[in-house]
Structure 1
Amino acid sequence: MAKLKVAVIGCGSIARQRHLIEYDANPNVEITAVCDIVEERAEEMAQTYGAKAYTDYKQLLETENVDAVSICLPNYLHAPVSILALNAGKHVLCEKPMATSSEEAENMIQAAKENGKKLMIGHNQRFVASHQKAKQLIESGETGKIYSFRTTFGHGGPETWSADGREGWFFDKEKAFIGAMGDLGVHKADLMRYLLGEEFSEVAAFVETSAKGDTDVDDNAVCVLKTQSGIIGTLAASWAYNAKEDNSTIIYGEKAILRLEDDPKYSLVVQYATGEVVNYELGGIQTNESGGQTTTHVIDHFVESILEDREPLINGEEGMKSLEVILGALESSATRKISSVKG
């Protein structure tokens, strides 16, 4: 079988630590081109993976006969470059958040449909073993009715791991559009939609810039969310958890409480109302610090979707629904009112 030819546009930390490594490990993929505005960065990755280096993504898309591309660029470029790639006949895996507005997201979805190509958004939380097990338990009725939840994603901020540190685009509002909520909060919005199996209808949020100096992107946010059936819970996203990353979720049900990535040893702890406790060792969640799972499974799923001509688990529509939760939170914080989530 001929290998899938892939290009990675943007050679920052997410490309180096996730996309390129995982494409390289997939036996069905050949990395044929890489692109970065910083020429040395593109050249370095090109040499590492035996690919051709570009500094202009338009030139890459016009020149290279690739099947698929990963978009690992600053947030404001996600939609325009994804659309350009889809219109050039390439399948697209785009990093989150997929876009900076509903309109942009809709245009991406439309471009994928018009060109008959796959569009996947890089929400890796759905592939974490503890999260998948929790979904099974909820769907099988093990927890009974779900009443509430709390989910958190926080670390010390992107300056500790992004390619350009404190000078990077994450802190430039024109390029980032949104801070911790786009970096981390959108992941948890997507995860909760996936676990609960329903959409959010309302959100009330405080989205603040309080921990980092000299920036106007948010670094601390807390949201109260309500689903269509009335499940309520909180979502926190932060770049101010300086001592240790927190990537935990707790789901409170009628028959059991599920604690996900909340215990240092067990990735899932189920506390039953009967007093019984079941601990699952399922392998740690991948972190920006170290260790964790060896793969996010995002790349493998994307490649599989193309080769088997199946719709990706997190397609454009799914990515957009998760984005809408975050856009609703921004609106709520700005208006100091409860916002409806577009659905």
Structure 2
Amino acid sequence: MGVQLTEPIRIGIVGAGNRGRNHAARYDSIPGAEVVAVADVDEAKARALAEQCGAESYPDHESMLDAADLDAANVCVHTTLHADIAVDALEAGAHVFCEKPMAGSYADAHRMSEAADRTGQRLAVQNQLLYTAETRAAKALADAGELGRIYHGIAARSPGFAFGGDGDPEEVPLGARRRGTPYVDGYGSPPFVREETAGGGVVLDLGSYTVGQLLYLMGSPDGDPPAVERVRGETFQTVPERFDAEGGTGESSEYARRIEESGYDVEDVSAAFVTFEDGSVLSVRASWSRYMEDESSAVVGTEGGVRLDSFEYFSTVADVEMRASADLEEYLFRKQFLDGERGRAAYESGIWADPLYHWVESLRGRADPLPTDDLALESMVVTDGIYRSAELGREVTREEVVEGADGNSGAE
């Protein structure tokens, strides 16, 4: 396991906005975790959240890292700020948990990964789809050889969760949406739809979930992802066309106002095709708003396949074509209760699917962590590849995506 910290795990949260407040509430229900510091350039927000947590507040992450006695830092700021803060925290001797997506570019994500390797600190990146019952069951089938040689994955839509920090997680599908654009459709804030702060649109926002999940399912039993060889992708901005400000009335005019007010300049639909070095391929569909029924993520091999939403297992038995459902609740119950007292407690409290719970458990030395940093870094090869391919109008190679990342200074 490598890391076994003395309890409580002392955590500093960087970013006191919606994500930071959400993470703080969730840590409150996780055994062995204690939020002791909160940093935000909006000092009023930092003070307010710190008071709720019984923690100290700081005006920026640098002063927090200098003054607070931390075991770990939790990065909950805009995507394009992730890398600098994460690298500073790692170099200050803190383990780091970073919100998804890992960074605004592969180059920045590579800097984070290199800093973790150099310092020996643990870096984790949020991807809740890695811990769902559907993913756990699909991975068990794949690792047991029941799917044979996996040659095709589909990253589209999978069952996930929204964690409120005050009880059982709420089931929420993640991936290709029929409708649900940040800020425009009433949730989230304008920075979600501005490239300057978000790094991109739906490719990074939702694609980082499903691409990371499929890399995990298509990878080795240890979770190491297959290596990307080349990517062909396209991106589309369709939402502003739905609600043209000229002539809009009623609700349409309000949507148009929010689009203009937010500075909306990112993609909201994307389609891509990825080829890996082992010959397997991945189809990617990501959308905030698209006139099409929902598509399920899936993984397919030479001896079987799994659809994730809703979960089904396909195979051939005695020359009979099988299409089987699964009792995932019973499967999850057994897995959690066979994990002893901590597994039962996690099941009963509803935190079993929370990435923050697994992060803290790994720091306590009670669980082997999934390689979320490696999965997120390889996901960035895919997402950067989609943007580069769309820009150039052709397929791009891995080398074209990662070129210049080694020794990158962080300047965009």
Question: Is TM-score (shorter-chain normalized) higher than 0.5?
Answer: yes
Paired position in structure 1 for 2:281 = 232
Q: Whole-Å Cα distance in 1 between the matches of residues 353 and 130 of structure 2?
A: 9
Q: Whole-Å Cα distance in 2 between the matches of residues 42 and 243 of structure 1?
A: 42
3, 7, 12: which is aligned to 1:2? Answer: 7
Q: Whole-Å Cα distance in 1 between the matches of residues 379 and 120 of structure 2?
A: 23
Change (3 A) 1:40 1:161: farther
Match status 1:259 vs 2:310:
no
Paired position in structure 2 for 1:205 = 233
- Pick which of 189-198 and 19-28 moved more: 19-28
Structure 1 residue 223: Cα displacement: 0.8
Match status 1:74 vs 2:113:
no
Matched position secondary structure for 1:84: helix
Q: Whole-Å Cα distance in 2 between the matches of residues 307 and 47 of structure 1?
A: 26
Output the amino acid matched with 1:133. Answer: A
Deviations 1:196-228 (A, max 9, x none): 112332211111222144421111111112222
Q: Whole-Å Cα distance in 1 between the matches of residues 305 and 391 of structure 2?
A: 34
Match status 1:191 vs 2:213:
yes
Output the amino acid matched with 1:227. Answer: F
Task: Select the structure with the greater relative contact order (CA < 8 A; seq sep ≥ 6).
Answer: 2
- Gaps spanning 5+ residues in structure 1: where? 284-292
Q: Whole-Å Cα distance in 2 between the matches of residues 135 and 157 of structure 1?
A: 31
Deviations 1:163-210 (A, max 9, x none): xx34x3112211111111111112222111111112332211111222
Match status 1:88 vs 2:145:
no
Q: Is the 8 A contact 1:205 1:332 kept in 2?
A: yes
Matched position secondary structure for 1:280: coil
Structure 1 residue 80: Cα displacement: 0.3
Deviations 1:297-336 (A, max 9, x none): 3112222322329874235433211111111111111111
Match status 1:26 vs 2:26:
no
Match status 1:306 vs 2:363:
yes
Q: What are the equivalent positions in structure 2 for 1:8-47 lying under 5 Å apart?
A: 8-17=13-22, 19-47=23-51
Structure 1 residue 75: Cα displacement: 0.8
Structure 1 residue 161: Cα displacement: 7.0
Q: Whole-Å Cα distance in 2 between the matches of residues 220 and 116 of structure 1?
A: 38
Change (3 A) 1:67 1:147: closer
Matched position secondary structure for 1:218: coil
325, 330, 352: which is aligned to 1:279? Answer: 325
Change (3 A) 1:333 1:52: same
113, 117, 120: which is aligned to 1:113? Answer: 117
Match status 1:134 vs 2:129:
no
Large movers: runs of 4+ above 4 Å: 241-244
Match status 1:269 vs 2:312:
yes
Q: Whole-Å Cα distance in 2 between the matches of residues 100 and 12 of structure 1?
A: 19
182, 201, 207: which is aligned to 1:158? Answer: 182
Change (3 A) 1:161 1:63: farther
Matched position secondary structure for 1:99: coil
Q: Whole-Å Cα distance in 1 between the matches of residues 301 and 110 of structure 2?
A: 35
- Pick which of 97-106 and 122-131 moved more: 97-106
Paired position in structure 2 for 1:338 = 395
Structure 1 residue 270: Cα displacement: 1.0
Match status 1:171 vs 2:193:
yes
Q: CA RMSD in A?
A: 2.6
TM-score normalised according to structure 2 size: 0.72
Structure 1 residue 124: Cα displacement: 2.2
Change (3 A) 1:26 1:294: closer
Deviations 1:20-49 (A, max 9, x none): 233211211111112233344333322332
Matched position secondary structure for 1:236: strand
Percent identity over paired residues: 28
Change (3 A) 1:282 1:34: farther
Q: Number of aligned residue pairs: give it.
A: 324
Change (3 A) 1:333 1:313: same
327, 339, 342: which is aligned to 2:384? Answer: 327
Matched position secondary structure for 1:143: coil
Deviations 1:131-153 (A, max 9, x none): 12111112222123334332211
Change (3 A) 1:92 1:129: same
- Gaps spanning 5+ residues in structure 2: where? 1-5, 157-174, 220-225, 241-258, 330-349, 403-412
